[in-house]
Amino acid sequence: EGIRNNPLHQSQRVEQEEIDGSVNIILNIPITSEFESYLVKNHKQIIVNSPTTLANKVKKLIGE
């Protein structure tokens, strides 16, 4: 379900599954403005952990 059945990119791999049903994934993709927009639009379902520069940019764009 969710991101498991609809990967964001072909490089996506699951790093860890959490007890609460959330998953940590790794993507190896270029950071484009479209991807940044996707992250901002879906910020309530997605947490960016790294790279730190992207995590900080998303936080700034959503006003955190």
Q: How confident is the model at residue 1 (pLDDT cuts 50, 70, 90)?
A: low
Cβ-based burial of 57 (10 A; exposed 0-12, middle 13-18, buried ≥19):
middle
Provide CB contacts within 8 A for 16, sequence distance 6+. 23, 24
For residue 4, is pLDDT > 90? no
Average pLDDT (43-64) is 93
pLDDT of residue 5: 81
Answer with the residue of higher pLDDT: 5 or 57.
57
Q: Hey, what amino acid is at 21?
A: G
Place of tokens 């599954």: 17
Q: Whole-model pTM?
A: 0.81
Three-state secondary structure call for residue 10:
coil
